[in-house]
């Protein structure tokens, strides 16, 4: 019979942080003596706590079942015909600096992340090459928070409103998943926010570190007879390693899960984000990166480039039984996002201001029963999402907004219908299939008519099928195979016309991909779990960016191929030690990519031929390893290593970026004084002081590809939690 196996997702120790985040002026880095005093203070606190008052942590590391929710049909991990990784709260929160998702997700094979330190461009995430082209934000990957899309209807996503200190779980589907979520589903990242415990609590967490880093978080939650709730407030400030890279981010989030009786549930979530400053130091050339890696591009400083945003998100999910063995689920959400982005040039320095509203509705019905005498689990549903952007551009007079240069309204409507079915053909064989139809309509109304009317409409549609199987072998092993697809429309930003006017780029088409994959996963004894996957992805009309003197535009490559392998192993050799090893190999190349130019008579000439080149921004080899030790008394320590192979910065592969290896360490403890728990922690990023780039700007104009990463730096903090018994 199909066996349910998995690896424990550890819960983070209850934590709170205390302290005064305003004690030092913003931007004042810790001196060597200050670092030593802070470290000594933390170690002194830990050492002075009586051993008899230690908060006991679970030392039971045996395997247990993992349930995956991001696959629409809730399933145990071993019954999913796809590569899926699940990250628990312990890996997200405990002892982390909590600057970005990459801190916990680097352990996921096939996932490549850059740009933790440039908040104006957001974290760049790619899964098997999907998202590698992104100039800012996240492309080609569906982002969900508590089941509510954080990805816009046009396919652009961002994670600047994710409160890592209130996140309990992250699921990652690696590979095309448009049959599940439609547009921009080359992979899926589903984030679940933290719930309140049975015993109400209030906590505080404060941390500080090099480059002016300071973070404060206050949260609390609990459980009443009918309502589970958690509220969180966080405030982040950082000066940054490079010049002109300051950022501030203030967030409030709330999650309320209401039991309506008779197995009906209502979930309400709210999040507000105020990011008034996120400066962009820009890319620099190789010589500048070598001579002065912490410097910014001069024009970025002169024109005060960077982004400011204000966002509010509301989401609601209602679930209730319907009929015998059926369940109905409905969701709705509304997001208001206003932001401004100052740019250095093209064709003149300007600033983009967008007043954005996006919202959506979804309805699904799932049923467990029989189909032709075979046990079946079926889900059908539809989604509709709408995005309204009022986009304007102004002249950037060295940081001050001047005359209006561009004014248009952009509307994107996306709707889709889907079906997924899972058949238990035998005790050992499970077969899944799915189908989804999506239609995306882009509508632009030009309000700036002095340069002509660039209004227009484009409608794109797609049918995304998938089929997969899982076969259970002996000894708690299962093998799976799948054929899945991905559909990716250009976003409103990517549709920008490189001629400099408004409207759409008439030569840009959506990207389509087909994924062929086989994998093996299972337990190795009672204390180890492994997963391996082999895949081949054929992509047509790959969307590729090019830089026109400071602004990114997009074009289609004819076709590309992605072949790769992924492996992960989690082992608990003793009750106190946990090791994680993951590795991935990917050969991502353009099969056919010719750049054409046209003369006045419409005759085409091949300007460049990049066929056979590796897709820029992707890496062939990636390795992650971690060893974590947890003592029953509450002390813990962890060391991790991330190796990233060489990559190329441009389509022609004439600019190679060397490989690098980064080692990080973190330590901490958890001590209890009655109902109060104190948790100091300390971490060192880039322990060996490796010189590398935190981000590579693909096909950058003027050779400004590089964004150097910080050298060795530290952070430290303390958390305090009060249980309100």
Q: Give the pLDDT confidence of 86-135 residue by residue, as tens digits.
A: 999 999 999 999 999 999 999 999 999 998 899 998 888 999 998 887 77
* H helix and E strand count, the chain: 6, 42
577-596 pLDDT, tens digit per residue, is: 999 999 999 999 999 888 76
Residue 594: the pLDDT is 82
Residue 493: the pLDDT is 74
DSSP tag of 705: -
Rounded to an integer, what distance in angstroms lies between the CA atom of residue 563 and that of residue 623?
A: 17
Structure-token pair, residue 481:
């195979």
DSSP 373-425: TEEEEEEEEEEEEEEEEEEEEEEEETTEEEEEEEEEEEEEEEEEEEEEEEEE-
Low-confidence winner among 200-204, 367-371, 637-641 (lowest mean pLDDT): 367-371
Q: Which of 167, 175, 162 is nearest to 131 (CA)?
A: 175
Rounded to an integer, what distance in angstroms lies between the CA atom of residue 331 and that of residue 146?
A: 11
How much is the average pLDDT of 308-322? 96
How much is the average pLDDT of 173-177? 91
pLDDT(664) > 90: yes
446: helix, coil or strand? strand
* 3-state DSSP of 80-143: CCCEEEEEEHHHHHCCCCCCCCHHHHCCCCCEEEECCCCCCCCCEEEECCECCCCCCCEECCEE
pLDDT(13) > 70: no
> Could you tell me how far CA 262 lies from the centroid of its own chain?
36
Give 447's pLDDT tier (boundaries 50, 70, 90): confident
CA angle 500/506/508 to nearest 5° reads 100
| Longest pairwise C-alpha distance within the chain | 86
How much is the average pLDDT of 499-517? 79
**What phi-psi label fits residue 92: left (phi over 0), alpha (psi between -120 and 50 degrees) or beta?**
alpha
DSSP tag of 194: P
Give 60's pLDDT tier (boundaries 50, 70, 90): very low
**Strands of the sheet with 142-145, listed across from one edge:** 83-88, 167-174, 187-193, 142-145, 148-149
pLDDT(18) > 60: no
Residue 29: the pLDDT is 40
Residue 596: the pLDDT is 67
More confident residue, 286 or 60: 286
More confident residue, 4 or 31: 31
Give 43's pLDDT tier (boundaries 50, 70, 90): very low
Backbone angles phi, psi at 35, to 5 degrees: -60, -45
Rounded to an integer, what distance in angstroms lies between the CA atom of residue 698 and that of residue 538?
A: 22
Residue written as tokens 């030569």?
Answer: 507
Give 233's pLDDT tier (boundaries 50, 70, 90): very high
Residue 210: the pLDDT is 97
More confident residue, 665 or 69: 665
Could you tell me the residue ranges of all domains in the chain?
Answer: 32-307+467-723
pLDDT(397) > 80: yes
Q: Which of 410, 473, 470 is nearest to 443 (CA)?
A: 410
The length of the chain is: 725
Rounded to an integer, what distance in angstroms lies between the CA atom of residue 172 and that of residue 119?
A: 23
Q: Do residues 412 and 153 touch, judged by C-beta distance below 8 A? A: yes
How much helix, strand and coil, in percent to the nearest 5, is found in the chain?
A: 10, 55, 35
Residue 2: the pLDDT is 39
Structure-token pair, residue 243:
């010049």
Q: Do residues 161 and 271 touch, judged by C-beta distance below 8 A? A: yes
Q: Which of 365, 457, 373, 370 is nearest to 409 (CA)?
A: 457
Give 546's pLDDT tier (boundaries 50, 70, 90): low
Give 500's pLDDT tier (boundaries 50, 70, 90): low
Residue 321: the pLDDT is 96
pLDDT(669) > 70: yes
Q: How many CA atoms lie within 13 A of 165 on its CB side?
A: 30
Residue written as tokens 């899982």?
Answer: 470
Output the average pLDDT for the chain: 86
CA angle 695/246/87 to nearest 5° reads 55
Residue 12: the pLDDT is 32
The percentage of the chain sitting over the pLDDT mark of 90, rounded to a whole number, equals 65
Give 4's pLDDT tier (boundaries 50, 70, 90): very low
pLDDT(30) > 60: no
Residue 56: the pLDDT is 35
The percentage of the chain sitting over the pLDDT mark of 70, rounded to a whole number, equals 87
Give 346's pLDDT tier (boundaries 50, 70, 90): low
Give 330's pLDDT tier (boundaries 50, 70, 90): very high
Residue 41: the pLDDT is 42
Give 26's pLDDT tier (boundaries 50, 70, 90): very low
**Domain covering 32-307+467-723 in this structure, CATH number:** 2.40.170.20
How much is the average pLDDT of 487-501? 75
Residue 153: the pLDDT is 87
Residue 602: the pLDDT is 52
Rounded to an integer, what distance in angstroms lies between the CA atom of residue 63 and that of residue 382?
A: 36
More confident residue, 476 or 293: 293
Rounded to an integer, what distance in angstroms lies between the CA atom of residue 152 and that of residue 386?
A: 8
How much is the average pLDDT of 267-290? 96
Residue 683: the pLDDT is 98
Q: Do residues 447 and 497 touch, judged by C-beta distance below 8 A? A: no
Structure-token pair, residue 707:
């964004």
Residue 67: the pLDDT is 75
Rounded to an integer, what distance in angstroms lies between the CA atom of residue 137 and that of residue 186?
A: 15
Rounded to an integer, what distance in angstroms lies between the CA atom of residue 521 and that of residue 478?
A: 6
Strand partners, 18: none
Residue 452: the pLDDT is 66
Residue 597: the pLDDT is 65
Structure-token pair, residue 556:
């289609």
Task: State pTM to two decimals.
Answer: 0.88
How much is the average pLDDT of 420-432? 93
Residue 8: the pLDDT is 31
């Amino acid at each position: 019979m199909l066996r349910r196996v998995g690896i424990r997702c550890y819960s983070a120790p209850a934590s709170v942080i205390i302290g005064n985040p305003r004690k030092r002026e913003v931007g004042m880095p810790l001196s060597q003596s200050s670092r030593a005093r802070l470290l000594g203070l933390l170690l002194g606190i830990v050492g002075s706590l009586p051993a008899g008052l230690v908060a006991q942590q679970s030392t039971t590391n045996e395997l247990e079942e993992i349930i995956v929710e991001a696959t629409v049909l809730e399933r145990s991990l071993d019954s999913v015909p796809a590569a899926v990784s699940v990250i628990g709260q312990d890996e997200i929160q405990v002892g982390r600096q909590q600057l970005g998702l990459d801190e916990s997700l680097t352990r996921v094979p096939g996932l490549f992340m850059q740009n933790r330190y440039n908040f104006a461009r957001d974290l760049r995430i790619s899964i098997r090459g999907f998202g590698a082209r992104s100039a800012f934000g996240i492309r080609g990957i569906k982002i969900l928070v508590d089941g509510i899309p954080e990805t816009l209807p046009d396919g652009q996503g961002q994670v600047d409103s994710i409160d890592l200190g209130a996140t309990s779980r992250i699921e990652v589907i690696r590979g095309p998943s448009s049959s599940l979520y439609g547009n921009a589903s080359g992979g899926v990242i589903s984030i679940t926010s933290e719930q309140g415990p049975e015993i109400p609590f209030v906590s505080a967490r404060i941390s500080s570190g090099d480059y002016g880093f300071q973070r404060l978080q206050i949260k609390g939650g609990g459980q009443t007879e009918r309502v589970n709730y958690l509220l969180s407030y966080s405030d982040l400030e950082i000066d940054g390693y490079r010049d002109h890279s300051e950022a501030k981010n203030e967030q409030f989030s709330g999650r309320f899960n209401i039991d309506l009786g008779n197995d009906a549930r209502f979930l309400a979530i709210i999040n507000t984000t105020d990011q008034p400053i996120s400066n962009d130091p820009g890319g620099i050339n190789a010589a500048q990166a070598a001579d002065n890696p912490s410097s910014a591009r001069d024009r970025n400083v002169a024109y005060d480039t960077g982004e400011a945003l204000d966002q509010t998100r509301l989401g609601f999910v209602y679930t209730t039984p319907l009929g015998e063995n059926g369940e109905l689920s409905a969701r709705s959400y509304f997001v208001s996002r206003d932001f401004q982005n100052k740019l250095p040039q093209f064709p003149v320095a300007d600033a983009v201001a967008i007043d954005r509203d996006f919202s959506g509705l979804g309805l699904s019905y799932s049923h467990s029963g029989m189909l032709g005498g075979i046990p079946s689990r079926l889900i059908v549903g539809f989604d509709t999402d709408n995005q309204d952007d009022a986009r304007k551009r102004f002249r950037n007079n060295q940081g001050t907004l001047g005359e209006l240069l561009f004014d248009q309204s952009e509307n994107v409507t996306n709707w889709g219908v889907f079906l997924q079915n899972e058949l238990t053909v035998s005790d050992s064989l499970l077969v899944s299939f799915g189908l989804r139809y999506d239609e995306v309509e882009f509508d632009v109304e030009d309000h700036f008519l002095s340069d002509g009317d660039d209004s227009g409409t484009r409608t794109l549609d797609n049918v995304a099928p998938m089929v997969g199987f899982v076969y259970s072998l002996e000894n708690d092993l299962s093998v799976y195979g799948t054929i899945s697809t991905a559909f990716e429309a250009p976003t409103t930003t990517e549709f920008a016309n490189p001629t400099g006017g408004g409207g759409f780029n008439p030569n840009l088409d959506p990207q389509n991909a087909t994924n062929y994959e086989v994998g093996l996963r299972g337990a190795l004894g009672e204390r180890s779990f492994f997963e391996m996957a082999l895949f081949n992805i054929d992509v047509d009309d790959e969307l590729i960016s090019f830089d026109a003197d400071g602004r990114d535009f997009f074009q289609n490559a004819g076709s590309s191929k992605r072949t790769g392998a992924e492996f992960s192993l989690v082992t608990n050799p003793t009750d106190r030690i946990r090791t994680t090893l993951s590795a991935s190999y990917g050969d991502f190349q353009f099969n056919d990519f010719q750049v054409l130019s046209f003369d006045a008579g419409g005759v085409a000439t091949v300007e460049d031929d990049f066929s056979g080149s590796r897709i820029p921004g992707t890496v062939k080899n990636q390795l992650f390893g971690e060893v974590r030790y947890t003592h029953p008394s509450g002390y813990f320590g962890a060391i991790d290593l991330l190796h990233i192979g060489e990559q190329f910065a441009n389509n022609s592969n004439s600019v190679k970026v060397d490989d690098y290896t980064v080692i990080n360490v973190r330590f901490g403890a958890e001590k209890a004084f009655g109902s109060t728990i104190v948790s100091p922690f300390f971490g060192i990023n880039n322990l060996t002081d490796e010189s590398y780039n935190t981000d590579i700007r693909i096909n950058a104009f003027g050779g400004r590809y590089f964004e150097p990463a910080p050298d060795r730096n530290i952070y430290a903090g303390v958390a305090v939690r009060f249980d309100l018994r």
